[in-house]
Amino acid sequence: MDDAVMPPDLIERENAIRLDALEDEYESLGRALDRRGGSIDRIKDALKGFAVAIPSWGVGVGGTRFAKFPIAGEPTNIFEKLEDCAVVQALGRNTPTVSTHFPWDKVDDVTALKEKAQGLGIGFDAVNSNTFQDQPGQPLSYKYGSLTHTDPAVRDQAVRHNIECIEIGKALGSEAITVWIADGSNFPGQSDLTGALDRYLDSMARIYAALPADWRMFIEHKLYEPAFYSTVVSDWGTSLMCAQQLGDKAQCLVDLGHHAPTVNIEQIVARLARAKKLGGFHFNDSKYGDDDLDSGSINPHQLFLVFNELVEAERRDPAGFRPAYMLDQSHNVTDPIESLLNSAAAVVAAHARALVVDRDALGEHQQANDVVMGFNVLRRAYDTDVTPILAMARYELGGAIDPIAAYRASEWRARKAQERKPVAVGQAGIV
């Protein structure tokens, strides 16, 4: 990595003033976990190998249909976005890859993009296709759908776009494509609900046929929006049915925000893992709809319960357990780098707490129907302050003990505000 975005001496300087306190907190927690039959070093080592991908569309400031409020120095293209991803990786040390979105990240020279990333020590995770917007000059509109459109010419256009995304992904070193489509209807009677799914499966089979041998295809379900009466791939059941029909390379991706507020997402995770169809995640948080808020910012307990099922699923089937972890957020009122640092840490913390769970005791209480003790085993792990383990893992990987403090000390955003052209005010939308 020859293009260091964060001067190493800055991280050293910021860590030097925090190391004594960290070592004291780490040793104290280590003794406490020891008394509980756990091993703090085992958890630390697990966290050092844990990674969650950054969404390229989450590195710039996001917005809603109403407005977007750009900040000075935010990235204006994928090359600048990769620099910001490298800052998050340099400080947090658990986001080594970026998930791209096309045509938002389209470039003329894909090799130059790959070389830029390599220079920054960043890799590429799943590519995301986009047949939920019409592009300037696009021959046929996706207004009434894409992969499920009643017009075969529109479906062909959408299938070709997905295959083009696979080709770009192959050049970048990605190994998966995430297919989320907005297809659905706003009125009863507008759409043939079964015919739409038939057309979806036919189109997806053509995209599936274009997958390289070692690639996966992630099917992302979503309850609603932008369709507000029916959505073709609206829930995990439909996603699972399609993944099972399409083949081994097709798996289900769980975006936490794509469910009704009351849904038990951790049980969906357990079901998909049992079916060996748990392909990956888009982590975020929400209170009402697909709010795309920072992971763990509204309901950190749900994130913990999801990871509790993931740790259990890996224990049951270590060989088949390979979910792709990605963030998918929209940072409307924060510096995206600070939100990404916090969110990646929230995901790692949920994983760490799940590793603290005394699984043998939990199993015994569940078998004995000792409700309170079963609940208390989980709650005790959830109540464990794992931040010293995360900080020690970051420190030993060359990152920052306190990433936000180090980021602010770097004055990265202010420096970029001098270099990067300003983003126009008055736009709206997610990117």
Which residues of this protein are in contact with ligand LRH, per CB under 6 A?
A: 57, 128, 180, 220, 222, 255, 282, 290, 328, 430
Sorted by sequence, the CB contacts under 8 Å of residue 319 that are 6+ apart come out as none
DSSP string of 58-121, one letter each residue: GSS--B-SS-B---TT---SHHHHHHHHHHHHHHHSS--EEEEETTTT--S-HHHHHHHHHHHT
Q: State residue 328 phi and psi, 5-degree precision.
A: -145, 95
Taking the complex as a whole, the smallest distance from the CB of residue 328 to Mn ion amounts, in Å, to 4
Spell out, one character per residue from 265 to 304, where the chain touches Mn ion: x when CB under 5 A holds, - when not. Answer: -----------------x----------------------
- When the beta carbons of 62 and 92 are compared against ligand LRH, the nearer one is 62
Tell me: does residue 255 bind Mn ion (CB under 5 A).
yes
Distance, in Å, from the CA atom of 347 to the CA atom of 331, rounded to the nearest integer, reads 17
Tell me: does residue 259 bind Mn ion (CB under 5 A).
no
- When the beta carbons of 221 and 365 are compared against ligand LRH, the nearer one is 221
Taking the complex as a whole, the smallest distance from the CB of residue 225 to ligand LRH amounts, in Å, to 7
Binding segment toward Mn ion, per CB under 5 A, in 119-127, 195-203, 251-259, 287-295: 251-259
Select from Mn ion, ligand LRH, none the partner in contact with residue 221, using the beta carbon and a kind-dependent cut-off of 5 to 8 Å: none
Give whole-number Cα distances, 246 to 21, 133, 346, in Å. Answer: 53, 25, 34
Taking the complex as a whole, the smallest distance from the CB of residue 400 to Mn ion amounts, in Å, to 28
Tell me: does residue 149 bind Mn ion (CB under 5 A).
no
Select from Mn ion, ligand LRH, none the partner in contact with residue 222, using the beta carbon and a kind-dependent cut-off of 5 to 8 Å: ligand LRH
Q: If phi over 0 gives left and psi between -120 and 50 gives alpha, with beta otherwise, what is residue 384? A: beta
Select from Mn ion, ligand LRH, none the partner in contact with residue 294, using the beta carbon and a kind-dependent cut-off of 5 to 8 Å: none
Q: Which residues of 36-56 are buried (b: 16+ CB within 10 A; e: fewer)?
A: eebebeebbebbeebbbbbbb
Taking the complex as a whole, the smallest distance from the CB of residue 4 to ligand LRH amounts, in Å, to 30
Distance, in Å, from the CA atom of 349 to the CA atom of 216, rounded to the nearest integer, reads 27
The count of other CB atoms within 10 Å of the CB of residue 134 is 13
Binding segment toward Mn ion, per CB under 5 A, in 82-90, 156-164, 287-295, 321-329: 321-329
- When the beta carbons of 128 and 308 are compared against ligand LRH, the nearer one is 128
Distance, in Å, from the CA atom of 95 to the CA atom of 86, rounded to the nearest integer, reads 9
Q: State residue 246 phi and psi, 5-degree precision.
A: -75, -40
- When the beta carbons of 202 and 291 are compared against Mn ion, the nearer one is 291
Q: If phi over 0 gives left and psi between -120 and 50 gives alpha, with beta otherwise, what is residue 320? A: alpha
Select from ligand LRH, Mn ion, none the partner in contact with residue 307, using the beta carbon and a kind-dependent cut-off of 5 to 8 Å: none
- When the beta carbons of 29 and 168 are compared against ligand LRH, the nearer one is 168
- When the beta carbons of 83 and 255 are compared against ligand LRH, the nearer one is 255
Taking the complex as a whole, the smallest distance from the CB of residue 47 to ligand LRH amounts, in Å, to 26
Beta bridge partners of 97: 123
Distance, in Å, from the CA atom of 85 to the CA atom of 349, rounded to the nearest integer, reads 20
- When the beta carbons of 251 and 410 are compared against Mn ion, the nearer one is 251
Considering only 84, 312, 328, 402, the residue that binds Mn ion (CB under 5 A) is: 328
- When the beta carbons of 89 and 284 are compared against ligand LRH, the nearer one is 284
Interface residues with Mn ion (CB under 5 A) are 255, 282, 328
